[in-house]
Amino acid sequence: MTALACSLAASSAWALPRMSLTIGSRCSNCHVNPQGSGLRTDSGFYSTAQNGAITWEQVGWQKFHDMPDNQLADGRLTVGFDSRLQMARLGAPHWSDDGELVTPDRLVIPMQMAPALSVKITDWLSATGSYNVSTLQHSYLGQSPYDAWLQIKTSQEMPSLRVGMIQPTIGMRHDDHTMLLRRNPLNPGLPMIAPNWNELGAEVTYEGQHWISAEAGVFMANNLALSDSGAVKKGDLITSARLTLWPQLEDYGLNSWIGGSFLKAGDLTLVGSHIGLGKPYWGALQAEMVMTQTAANRDMLSWMIHASHPLKEWFVLEARYEKSTGSTSVANSNAEMTSLVAGVQFIPLPNVELRPEYRVLTTKDWKLAQWALQLHLWF
């Protein structure tokens, strides 16, 4: 199963929930962070090291091709790096002061340049952190430039504890920060939950049984008070929890998950659910929903459905549809956004990902159809 997981995970270049769903494997199998994203474990590194349309060996870089893992000092140190450049039109079409229709310029934005390190201090204690240098140039309100935590993990069967600057676990952690699940249709330009959101706090993770996983955490609001200042104030207590069941229909080779999330912070209450179905070499179908409500009667409902199919391990077709609606009685306004994204995850060389996408985003006031391209390099 591990071999199968690794061979299939090879088509993933990031903490893509679809990969976990396809192979029925936890994010923590391939990432140091149990939520997924960022620094890879030795299994995660190995699973992507040979996957590409062409290999490093074929272009003459044998040393990189033969690199066995991303660990140093007899496995005490795990090192990694993620870099992402996004080329897209950001913003909304609008009338200029001269009455001309203005289409947003296409920009190239460094989204992520994040070296990461994990140190195994003892058999049960580790320290992990990363710093996203690109936030020095561009960041969203509430985006955390770094994450850092101590993890106590005595065995796979027992719950583990993380303490530090970490992201409360809710729903699935997607690598695409433009997804409507974490945006506010009433303020289309402002994420309700910023990309790389982290808060100071502690979280317990349980993955001791193959059919269930659970997380629960307590945090102090700081960054969430920046991205959703209307509902959360600095210093508010954040409580979060997620429960996921992982049914496997072995007769059909199907993996699945179904679960729910809860978060309470200040005046904000968030309830979410996620469900998905995946099969090796076939792909994945997943859906997720997030409902939020504030004491000031701001209600939002966002949902998405996402399908993916690997033509090759290094060439995966992807499409998703999202819808987000919101209303607030205070300003007596309501809003709606829909998003259609179709694209390809293409890995020309191991550790190099190109993701061309066609995106159509529609609000009550405007519509923008564009192609976008993301370059992702990782180690």
| Residues near another protein, by CB under 8 A | 53-54, 58, 89-95, 97, 99, 101, 103-105, 107-109, 137-138, 140-141, 186-190, 229, 331-332, 346, 348, 356, 358, 364-371
Q: How far is the CB of 317 from another protein (least distance, A)?
A: 13
* Residue 9 or 335 having the CB closest to another protein: 335
Beta bridge partners of 327: 299, 334
Between CA 35 and CA 46, with CA 40 as vertex, the angle to 5 degrees is 130
Asked whether the CA dihedral 40, 45, 46, 50 is positive or negative, the reply is positive
* Residue 75 or 189 having the CB closest to another protein: 189
Q: In this structure, are residues 186 and 326 in contact, taking their beta carbons and an 8 Å threshold?
A: yes
Q: What is the C-alpha to C-alpha distance for residues 37 and 19, in angstroms, rounded to an integer?
A: 12
* Residue 71 or 187 having the CB closest to another protein: 187
Q: How far is the CB of 238 from another protein (least distance, A)?
A: 20
Q: How far is the CB of 294 from another protein (least distance, A)?
A: 14
Q: DSSP character for 40?
A: B
331-336: Cβ within 8 A, 24+ apart: 333/186, 334/186, 335/185, 335/186, 335/188, 335/363, 335/364, 336/185, 336/363, 336/364
* Residue 240 or 292 having the CB closest to another protein: 292
**Helix pair 2-9, 42-49: axis angle to 10 deg:** 60
Q: In this structure, are residues 275 and 51 in contact, taking their beta carbons and an 8 Å threshold?
A: no
Q: How far is the CB of 305 from another protein (least distance, A)?
A: 22
Q: How far is the CB of 331 from another protein (least distance, A)?
A: 7
* Residue 17 or 142 having the CB closest to another protein: 142
Write the DSSP string, 262-285. EEEETTEEEEEEEEEEEETTTEEE
* Residue 210 or 312 having the CB closest to another protein: 312
Find the distance separating the first CA and the last CA of the chain, reported in whole Å.
Answer: 24
* Residue 141 or 237 having the CB closest to another protein: 141
Q: How far is the CB of 11 from another protein (least distance, A)?
A: 15
Q: How far is the CB of 269 from another protein (least distance, A)?
A: 20
* Residue 122 or 137 having the CB closest to another protein: 137
Report which secondary-structure segment, H or E, holds 224. helix 224-227
Q: In this structure, are residues 267 and 296 in contact, taking their beta carbons and an 8 Å threshold?
A: yes
Q: How far is the CB of 195 from another protein (least distance, A)?
A: 13
